[in-house]
Chain A
Amino acid sequence: MAACACRHQSATGDGAKTFVLLLAAVLGAMREGSPRRAARALPAFERRVLERAVARGLRPHLRSAFPAGGPGEELEAAALEALLEAYLRGRLGPGERRAVTLLGCELCARCGARRPPALRLLCGRFAQLHAAAAGLPLARSRVLPGVLLRRDFAAYCPAGGRLRAVLVTRCLRPVLTGPGVECAVRSERQHRAALRWCGGRTEAVMEHLRSGGVRLLLSGVKQHEEVIFYAKLHGVSVVECLSSEEVALISEIAGISPYDPAGDSVQGEIAEAAVVTFCQPLLLGSQRYVHIGFSSAGAFQPHCLVLCAPVDAINEQHAATLHGAFTMLLQLFRAVDQECGAEGESQNSASGVGSGYSPATETRVVTESIACGSSQVSEHQLGACRGETAAQSSDLALQESERPDGTPPASAPGPHSKELSVCTDGADSAGTHKLPALCECPDGMNESHRRQQAVCSHRNYCTAVASTATLCEHLGVGKGPEKAGYGVTQSCPSSILEAGSVLPVGGYFEILLHYYIQHYAKQVQQSAVTVISNVVADALLSIPKALYGTERNGFTKFYLETTEALRKNQPLPVNEKGLESVYCKYQLVTSVLHCVTELLNIDLIIGVKRPLQKTEDKDSDDDF
């Protein structure tokens, strides 16, 4: 449970506590009844109840964090603050959260990180983009323009105005020998001449840099004393021994690659130079930093955060919290796409991902799932697959029965009959329809498979479970519409969840989902699914119960007010400014359900004396 919760937290930056609460509530309610049966019914529940509840029930209540009529995917400033504030409320003390929220908002705004490309950089490089100082009050924390490097200048020559900087990853002084190279010295004179040449060459390179307007040398390695000397002589500042992460950060934000004075000539333009607006030493406590103002070459406007707190551990906590918050914000730009095609086919497509899709006949399904890396396919699991296929047909029957009820599903695929033909005779045309959709997102699928396989020995079940919803990344700007318009538009008109969907915090998501799961469960005739639906719907209420547990009758009041409004089709009574990302919440629910499936399928726990080795090879039959 802890491993699953941590994995979820590291992926979405949010929800570890909710994960455990929800998981405990679901498992607690499942103690009665057959765990195997419940585990088998979970995928069907997810496809037929949960996805519908989110796509149709929840949708009218959702708000968007992107401004209406604004320029595409950009977080609204007010929404950003509401999201951060609500996120930090669960993590920081009452004295700190307001100040840290404002810092986070300022950092995002000044970095241009309200849009995905810059936000992704801020999130990925946050460790390099913040510095901490202990012994000062939190109020002294600042957002600074530019970047702080955790080094001191090896040579510092103050220079005003804009200047150029180059990045190097090897020593600028030539060496007599290299690895595997032998240098033969025939006379003392020759040796002195060689050393003198090395020095001269170093000076020539430095002169060349200086004449090209370069006043700052950023080095990923330690430079020779002579390099520092000539740099000082020519008025070039040097920062050396940068970590590989810092080098990567600089080349990413300035859009340059490392400079290498190649060959014998030191002529020619220095193309790979960054423009620097200022460059100065900065002292934070006892730690010396180099503070450099890069002018940006991309979407990211370089700014960094200086965190202050009385104790170091508090700074670490604030930094980790902000990092988590940015990870959470990044998830907001994702959408959950409808699995294109009939819902009953999901495990076929799952097995197809690993090895390319092939028309689904029953025997092929089994062989594919073996090829997909499962260690063993027992007779039992074959039975399970057959059972699923049987469920498929009932599912299809259900969809057809649903059609005449006058509400054409917004997200469910229209041409059921066509998909039906896929199942029965494996028509080629359907195969070509599906192929692009599957090829677009194999990465995410494989990743989730691998992650699950790491902890779960029942791999077959994982493959059957993991892929009920295809999660497409909508992070590339403009890529989304193209995808939607490619090949599958007709069968897949919209997503389950659109990017940027938010809800007010305080249990509204759980209450809504509780309500709509119950609503859509009534339309399902399979008793196992109905049971699961009730279990999950009730388990969801454990979250608002925990939230309102401190007040007397707080939860009952909240529950009654909200459900009353839902029944009357009125807007929800919200007096809450904070927002939360619906993608993260939805992801949380599906992760919990996957975790439940894994846990329910465990029938034996074996304690071992030695620590487990991570085995990479997937077909290790000898283990059993």
Chain B
Amino acid sequence: MSRLEAKKPSLFISEPLTTVSQPLSLLIAILKSCYGPAGRLKQLHNGVGGYVCLTSQSSAILGHLSVSHPVLKVLTASVQNHVSRFSDCGLFTAILCCSLIENFKNLNIASCTIIKISKHLLSLCTDYLKSKACGCQVSVDFSNLETLLCLVRSILTSKPACMLNKTEVDCLAVLIVKAFMYTVPCHPETKPVLGKCVTVPLKGKRVLDSTVIPGLLIETPEIQFAKPFSVKRTSSDAVKVVVFCVSMSGDLFDPEEGTVTVHHKISLEMSELDQLLNVGKQLVNDEVGLVVCQKVIHPSLKQYLKDNHIIAVDRAGLSVMEPLSQVTGSKPIASIYSLSPSCYGSLKDVRAESFASKHFVHLIPNDTTVCSLILCNRNETTWDELKTCCLSTSSSKDVECSPTQYQLITDAFCHSLESVACSLSHDGGEILTDMAYGHCWLVPSGFPSASNWSDLLSKCGCGINSSTKDLNWRHLQPLFGSSPIESCPKEPSGKVTDFMTLDCFAAKYNGLQVAVETANLILDLSCVIEDQN
């Protein structure tokens, strides 16, 4: 009989928002200081010892911080879900959400009114962002690689924990864009499908040694091929390829119920091996040059294939099976009892390559959209983020309340947005906004605030607009309430230039919505009941 433990009573916390102020402002301070290209690193470590994490990414910070306040738990979970989906704009979402809560909480207006109005304001924002007039969007021109490069570069530079210098960032950005271009099909059909880019992480080499090659690399444990490396070709000068996804180890492990009785002197293992060698014979007859098996190949069969100048690669693993069939056009075979020549594929060439200490078989296709990015770095995670970001760019009343309340809530909403923008500056420098475009301008610290701005500033924060006399700057300071811009922002004058800072629009758009929705959710909490069992 199991031991019974008395259940603990549930913990009841009423008005959780009254106790959240202090932890919330601490969290805002942490997040704000990480924000933007000039964001500061955080060192996270456990006092007991162990792994030390240096980061400025929201996913790492929120993942490692142990948050105990129930309200902040909701907030961090929400931001982490956003990040896991878009891998970008996590800090933006978190800071905006925190400052919305902070500002709304101080208003002393019924939460349902706040929620109603902030929903209304959010819809105004999203409508504007989606509209053609929106000055925040820069459409990516795929015939001009500069924009793509800018986007990739912005993401790389906003992650200082990667410890990349400028040349390395440029080199990686070019490689990533190159890899992306490889995956775009040359002969677009009605519904073009992007190909695959397989990353091969290599540690212990310089970042500048990274490279992109067309085709696929399959890692092999050792150089097991005859030297000089040569591959058998068919009469049409192509290499015939067969891919097996079934085990060729000769083991019998069909999980069938019931019993198999074997007569004396009969070995099913021998029977299985005979069949494997039959397969080998047929492969030789069919002029196959390369055999790749997802699982293990029996040593005898391997030797037989080698003797007949067929390259055999086993233990390829499930992950390469899909790009492998894309590269070769072959269909993975699941039975050693029937080999249909229709499953064979072909390659232009096969080579043996080695990078650093690793050995690879390099499959070179005739014409496919698969490429391999050999990323030499200490950090293996950045690439995923980059790819998601590249891909997402390619896919791109009557409210019942008094006018005063409306004004107050709208102010709080705008201040929250502005405070996110203000957190871009970390050295005490001033932040200005211009009345023509509504863009953000950063003043380096140490200059008197009354100086002539147009002499001091050359380009706005994102790099689209250049400084002119008539821009009419003013301070952007959330604490003092700023006068609204009267006219609609003008269309940006500048064309896409070299060093712009760009964000992924889809991620930002989603982050804005998630932040407001989460803030509304938290504001509506009147008590927290925690099951302590």
Contacts and interface: CB of A to CB of B under 8 A. Distances in A.
Q: Do A and B bind each other?
A: yes
Interface in A461-487: none
Nearest to A231: B334
Contacts of A309: 517
A180 B521 contact: no
B521 A285 contact: no
B115 to A, nearest CB: 5
B115 A95 contact: yes
A229 B333 contact: yes
A73 interface: no
Interface in B99-143: 111-112, 115-116, 119
B337 A178 contact: no
A177 to B, nearest CB: 3
B520 interface: yes
Given A94-B112, A310-B517, A232 B331 contact: yes
B335 interface: yes
Nearest to A98: B119
Interface string B498-533: 000000000000100110011011001000000000
B85 A136 contact: yes
Given A188-B268, A226-B334, A93 B521 contact: yes
Contact of B258 (A95, A179, A226): A179
Contact of A228 (B81, B334, B338): B334
A137 B266 contact: no
A192 B518 CA distance: 63
A611 interface: yes
B87 to A, nearest CB: 11
A271 interface: no
A187 B266 contact: yes
A228 B246 CA distance: 11
A232 B275 CA distance: 23
A265 interface: no
A343 B84 CA distance: 64
Contacts of B271: 188-189, 191-192
B84 A310 contact: no
B381 to A, nearest CB: 16
B263 interface: yes
A233 B325 CA distance: 13
Interface residues of B, number: 52
B514 A184 contact: no
Interface string B256-274: 1111111100111011001
Interface string B1-25: 0001000000000000000000000
Contact of A311 (B77, B275, B520): B77
Interface in B331-367: 331-335, 337-338, 340, 342-343
Contact of A95 (B80, B81, B520): B520
A181 interface: yes
A181 B77 CA distance: 54
SS class, residues of chain B in contact with chain A: helix
A310 B119 CA distance: 15
A200 interface: yes
B78 interface: yes
A603 B158 CA distance: 71
A94 B85 CA distance: 26
B148 to A, nearest CB: 23
A196 B274 CA distance: 13
A228 B333 CA distance: 10
A94 B268 contact: no
Interface in A194-230: 195-196, 199-200, 203, 225-226, 228-229
Nearest to B342: A233
A196 B115 CA distance: 68
A232 B335 CA distance: 13
B305 interface: no
B266 A178 contact: no
B83 to A, nearest CB: 8
A314 to B, nearest CB: 7
A225 B334 contact: yes
Contacts of B268: 185, 188, 191
Contacts of B85: 134-136, 285
Given A184-B261, A311-B74, A95 B521 contact: yes
B119 A229 contact: no
B263 A229 contact: no
B84 A135 contact: yes
Counting chain B CB atoms within 10 Å of each CB, which of A137, A199, A200, A232 scores highest?
A137
A623 B430 CA distance: 82
B415 interface: no
Nearest to B275: A192
Contacts of A196: 337-338
A225 B318 CA distance: 14
A179 B268 CA distance: 21
Interface string A116-155: 0000000000000000001111110000000000000000
A443 B4 CA distance: 37
A183 interface: yes
A402 interface: no
B403 to A, nearest CB: 20
B302 interface: no
A184 B258 CA distance: 11
Interface of A: 93-95, 134-139, 175-189, 191-192, 195-196, 199-200, 203, 225-226, 228-229, 232-233, 285-286, 309-314, 611
Interface of B: 4, 74, 77-78, 80-86, 111-112, 115-116, 119, 245-246, 254, 256-263, 266-268, 270-271, 274-275, 331-335, 337-338, 340, 342-343, 510, 513-514, 517-518, 520-521, 524
Q: Which 5 A-B pairs have the closest CB atoms?
A: A177-B258, A135-B81, A229-B334, A137-B513, A188-B271
12 contacts: A93-B115, A93-B520, A95-B524, A136-B514, A137-B517, A183-B259, A186-B263, A188-B267, A191-B271, A309-B517, A310-B514, A311-B518
Given A137-B513, A183-B258, A183-B261, 18 more contacts: A94-B111, A95-B119, A135-B85, A175-B254, A177-B259, A182-B261, A183-B259, A184-B260, A185-B261, A185-B262, A186-B266, A188-B268, A188-B270, A191-B266, A191-B268, A199-B337, A229-B332, A311-B81
